Amino acid sequence: MITGKNYIGNKLSAKGNKTFTTFNPKLNIPNQYELTEATPEEIDEAVALASSAFRVYRNVPGTKRAAFLNAIADEILALGDELLEVYSSESGLPQGRAMGERGRTIGQLRAFADLISDENWREISIDEAIPGREPLPKPDLRKLLIPLGPVVVFGASNFPLAFSTAGGDAASALAAGCPIIVKSHPMHAGTGEMVASAVVKAAEKTGMPEGVFSNLNSSGIEVGVQLVKHPGVKAVGFTGSIRGGRALYDIAASREEPIPVFAEMGSINPVIMMPGAMENRREQLATTYASSITLGTGQFCTNPGLLLCMKNDASDAFIEDLAQKTVAVDAQCMLHPNIKANYDKMRSSISAQEGLEVVAEYETATQENFAASQIAKVSGASFLANKNLHHEVFGPFSMVVQCKDEEELVNIIDQLEGQLTGTLIADEEEYQDLGTIVDTLQQRVGRIIFNGVPTGVEVCASMTHGGPYPASTDSRYTAVGINAIKRWVRPFSFQDFPKELLPEALK
């Protein structure tokens, strides 16, 4: 049952008088339950509890934290079909997507549980003393990673489960030994409360300190801003727009004690299509990329929003084929009327730019909040001359840039902002020509995909989901995979400590 209240530690709370509802974009009606926005008093209570819990939780053995994470996974599964139904009612996404995302969420929790079941992840280093070393004695030094403190996690609009209340940021912070305060996303706050109830039950069952988890509702930005400004908060995790992530980053940097904001933000995910592959696999590539562009109504951070190729007869034919296959895919529901309105606004703005040609647009009448896909094309020279063409259009849209030669292609890659992914489509006989392109692309992205599509992010140790700004605020870290835990820790050294006083891992 959805109460509409906030979780302040293990207790439900609704001290405020500001309420809001979530929205069913498929039915185009508000959902029936009301949610109460957290007050400044409740924010202070949640942070105070998290700070108190940190003193205990940071020293909870990894095996017990692992049991907590596994218990969260079990309790989420115990929510059953009701969770899937609420998920779909708040996002417009189908039940299959809900089940898949729940599976990914469970998998992430269990992966972090496995990681922290021993202490190897903490990068332990021991340099024993050499008192007789000349000309100076060597001290005893022992190093490991320790948690930063309470972390604020912002729910993501496009992943109500896998990047929200118990998603990757939350799971990795809890695994590291950091209590978390979730700022639930207003578009799926009902889903958030249900998952929060599972986390609280798991915390109680495994004996975690109260305050290791809180979940706060907010219809706007006020609660999030107050949380990031709060001196008890030590780090922030965010997945969303460049505007939102940069605002939080600036707030955190302006604090008396600046704190890190790990924000995964916008990306147009360039795809470079080499001439030989275009000539030999035109129809296959058009089919594959029409599916990728429209997958999930284009509402993925890895959606292929920019295709780069050489200007020739093969690319002309490919563009026409891609356009027709893309608009032949039935229109799908977007996450919220506001996201649909922003998609229409950005698409119209891009379409009005000088030199750009709309090749095809979905023209069948659609239901309210359903998105019309679109394919556009532009010359390499026009793209280089107009930075407005470099902006992300969040939805089923992609732009094809036809370059006059490889020099222009490389120049375009070099001029792009930082991206989450880059994709390279090439046949074997073209491999020897890819050196400069690969080297240039590597400086602009966090991951290169070869002969595939960027949509679909494998959760594993080798995954990098991040990239140069503005893809993320710190390109040294990933938001996906077990190495995401490294965002919430710092290295710490003990020098000449009695072994009795050292952490077990360093003895």
For the annotated catalytic residues, the residue numbers are 264, 301
Residues in the chain: 507
Q: Which of 154, 298, 130 is nearest to 225 (CA)?
A: 154
Task: Reduce the DSSP state of residue 250 to 3 states and report it.
Answer: helix
Cβ-based neighbour number of residue 183 at 10 Å: 28
Distance CA 254, CA 112 (A): 32
Helices (H), 281-422: 282-294, 313-327, 337-351, 380-385, 406-415
> Is the four-CA dihedral 399, 402, 403, 405 of positive or negative sign?
positive
310: number of CA atoms within 13 Å, CB side?
14
Most distant CA pair in the chain, distance: 84
Residue type, 504: E
Cβ-based burial of 284 (10 A; exposed 0-12, middle 13-18, buried ≥19):
exposed
> Is the four-CA dihedral 480, 483, 489, 491 of positive or negative sign?
negative
Distance CA 282, CA 304 (A): 17
Distance CA 301, CA 467 (A): 12
Bridge partner residues of 272 (DSSP)? 308, 424
Q: Which of 180, 171, 126 is nearest to 149 (CA)?
A: 180
Residues 6+ apart with CB under 8 A from 419: 267, 268, 269, 270, 444, 445, 446, 467, 468, 471
- The answer to whether the beta carbons of residues 189 and 35 sit under 8 Å apart is yes
What are 191's two structure tokens? 């889903």
Cβ-based neighbour number of residue 253 at 10 Å: 12
- The answer to whether the beta carbons of residues 479 and 239 sit under 8 Å apart is yes
Find where tokens 């200007």 sit: 311
Distance CA 189, CA 331 (A): 26
Find where tokens 């469970």 sit: 106
> Is the four-CA dihedral 52, 56, 59, 60 of positive or negative sign?
negative
Cα 327 to chain center, whole Å? 28
